[in-house]
Each structure stands twice: as structure tokens, then as C-alpha cells.
Amino acid sequence: MKIGTPKEIAEGEARVAMTPASARDLQKLGFTCCIESGAGDKAGFSDAAYEEAGVEIVKTAAALWKSADIIAKVRQPSETELKRLTKAKTLISFFNPGGNEEGLELAKSKGATVIAMEMVPRISRAQKMDALSSMANIAGYRAVMEAGNNFDRFFTGQITAAGKVPPAKVLVVGAGVAGLAAIGTSTSLGAVTYAFDVRPEVAEQVESMGAEFVYLDFEEELQDGAASGGYAAVSSPEFREAQLAKFRELAPEMDIVITTALIPNREAPKLWLADMVASMKRGSVIVDLAAERGGNVEGTVKDEKIVTENGVTIVGYTDFPSRMAAQSSTLYATNIRHMMTDLTPEKDGQVVHNMDDDVIRGSTVTHAGEITFPPPPPKIQ
């Protein structure tokens, strides 16, 4: 069978779902590979590099979608792209199945199989295919880089002949995958780093990375009640008040605040309010990684960088992985290659779509003329 990757058509998207290295691995699984001409350009992978890796270069998107049996891409497909699917084709991509009913219906009407990368179950066996985590890791790292780029002091403290420089103070709100990556990057640059999460079980991880966990003056059982199943739940009003009081106390001291707090299937909670922004020092920087889902910060403008009246920069970009397209394409293409390994048990270039496999079942959102989203809960944890 043939795997093909088209050029991403979403504006500003620089990632690509196949790299020359992943194509070599896919060929070892028995597949032939093709790519739309120029698809890897923005991520630093030239047509020549693909050709050298044995990948056929196809001139147009239409020809690519026609000739490939399996299409691997990054962003949620457009209507035009979905119309190119047929019963015999499998699409592997981010798909936003929870908010993309029209896309599901269209893929179903075509009889195609769609694997949605955000649906890969978060169980140990599937970590190698977990594109949400690989992209969140990049976003967390890049958030710190972006903060540094807008901050006109050092992260680390220094004693120099020209004077003593205190270290920057960084607060990371939300210590999931992106938050932990931001914490690791910030501590490695030498900033004094603080972190907060509603899930107290992450305190140990935060501390093992050299940051200080911010505890609230709150009864622990109630704090525990705020989290369930590894994900956060909505906080009680009392807990929220205690959290906001703590943030109000910290705001004037922090140089950089990176917010990553999310609750599944909801708008991001507003945690850094306008009065906290107003009490921060001139020159401070906030990076709101939750901007896509409404933002954690009052004043965030999605996809923009603004400077408030009191001189605080708020970054609301939502394309952090795309800003590091070589790195994110490499990791995403590897996630896809692992998915293909599981779909090709005989390594003979033939996909076996085993719906009894938790990972394949969990991430398949249309198959054999049916919408198969949402999936049943996985059997293995």
C-alpha cells in the first residue's frame, strides 16, 4: 500500500506529517511513500531529501490524494480534502472529532477510515503515538523561549564585574505535559521557577525538576477533590478563591507567568485576572498557552502579542509547535510511524484495521461506513 502526505493548507502551518527519516521507516514496514512537492519546505525538508529517502514526489494535492491509500497529515482536513476520500482510503490526522460533526459525516458518507491523532488513548502502550503529548512538550518549551524573547533581562542570576543580577522569577500555572516542559526549560535556564496545579500529585514531579510547588492554604481533601482520572475537574468556588488569593499575592513578584491550565471539553479556566496583570512589574511577560480554548489570562488576544498599559506583554499565540516545525514534524511523523507499525502487524505494507485493539479502536472515528466516535473506554489502563 502507498502512504502519502499532502502539503498542509491551513494558513501559517509549517509542519509536515512525513519526514525523510519517517519515510525510510515506513518503507521498512513494506509501504511505498509519496509526498506533495514542497510539503516539507517550511519544516526544512526539501523534495530532494525526500527523493533521496526513496519517496515519490507528486506535483499536486489532487494527484497525491488520488494515488495514496493512506493519507497522513497534520491539521484537521478541509471539506475539499475530505471529499477526496474514498471507501478504500485511510486518513490519519488531527481531526477534532468532538467539534467536527460535519467532517465525521462527510468521511462516513465516503466510507473512509479516519484515525484522529488526538484520540490516541493515554495509556502506557500508546505513549509513542501520543501526538497531543509530543506537541504539548514542544509548546511548553517554546513558551519559555517566547517569554525570553520578550523579556529584557537574564533568566539566570549573575554576579559580574558590572554588577549583580538577580534571577528571573517564573510561575507556571498548570503542570500537565506542556507545563512540565516549561518548568524544565525554565529551571535549566536558571530562573527561580514556581509551579501550581490543582492536582497535588504533580507536586513531586515539579519539585524533582528543581521548581517550587505553590501550595494553597486549603484543606488537602478538598484540594484532592478537585481532580479526577489524571485530568483536572472544575474547582469548587472556595478552592478557586484560595487559588486566586495566592496568585494575587505572587503577581507583583513574578517576571514571567506561563499558563497552561485546561479542563477536558471546557473553556480554559480564567485564572490570571485583570487586576493581577495590572499589579505586575513593567517588562513582565505572560505566555497564555490556553489561548486556543479562550485563555487563562484576562486580556489575552488569541494569536496575538499585546502590551498592556502598565507594560506587561501578553503572548496569545496558538501555533507554538508550528513555530518549531522541524522539531515538531520529526516527532509527529514518528508518532504516525508508530501508529502505522501497530496497523501493519505483518510488516508487509498491508494495513489490518483491528477494532479489537484498544489503541486502534480508540483513535478510529469513522470506519466501514460508520461513525465510531466517541469510542468505548479502553479495557487496559
Could you tell me how far CA 245 lies from the centroid of its own chain? 30
Instruction: Report whether 344 contacts 351 (CB < 8 A).
Output: yes
Choose among 372, 361, 343, 362: nearest CA to 121: 362
Site string for ligand NAD, 273-292 (x = CB under 6 A): --------------------
Q: Which three cell numbers stand for residue 144?
A: 519559555
Question: Is residue 330 part of the contact set for ligand NAD (CB under 6 A)?
Answer: no
Residues 156-185, interacting with ligand NAD (CB under 6 A): 173-179
Whether residue 374 is preceded by a cis peptide bond, meaning omega within 30 degrees of 0, is yes
Residues 88-147, interacting with ligand NAD (CB under 6 A): 122-124, 127, 130, 133, 136
Q: State how far the Cα of 275 lies from the Cα of 44, in Å rounded to an integer.
A: 43
Catalytic residue among 76, 133, 134, 322: 133
Question: Is residue 271 part of the contact set for ligand NAD (CB under 6 A)?
Answer: yes
| Nearer of residues 16 and 339 to ligand NAD, judged by Cβ | 339
| Nearer of residues 122 and 248 to ligand NAD, judged by Cβ | 122
**Shortest distance, position 338 Cβ to ligand NAD, whole Å:** 13
Place of cell 488569541: 302
Question: Is residue 232 part of the contact set for ligand NAD (CB under 6 A)?
Answer: yes
Q: Which three cell numbers stand for residue 257?
A: 507567568
Q: State how far the Cα of 241 lies from the Cα of 314, in Å rounded to an integer.
A: 23
| Nearer of residues 93 and 137 to ligand NAD, judged by Cβ | 137
Q: Which residues in 179-211 are b (16+ Cβ under 10 Å) and which e?
A: bbbbbbbbbebebbbbbbbbbbebbebbeebeb
Using the rule CB under 6 A, give the single segment among 28-36, 80-88, 225-233, 337-345 that binds ligand NAD. Answer: 225-233
122 catalytic residue (yes or no): yes
231 catalytic residue (yes or no): yes
| Nearer of residues 113 and 235 to ligand NAD, judged by Cβ | 235
Q: State how far the Cα of 370 lies from the Cα of 108, in Å rounded to an integer.
A: 6
Q: How deeply is 17 buried, as exposed, middle or buried, from its count of CB atoms within 10 A (0-12, 13-18, 19+)?
A: buried
Question: Is residue 257 part of the contact set for ligand NAD (CB under 6 A)?
Answer: no
Report the residue closest to ligand NAD, judged by CB: 176
Site string for ligand NAD, 183-212 (x = CB under 6 A): -------------xxxx-------------
Q: Which three cell numbers stand for residue 197?
A: 496545579
Q: At what angle do helices 325-343 and 20-28 cross, to 10 degrees?
A: 10
Q: Supply the residues annotated as catalytic.
A: 122, 127, 130, 133, 231
Residues binding ligand NAD (CB under 6 A): 122-124, 127, 130, 133, 136, 173-179, 196-199, 230-232, 235, 260-264, 269, 271
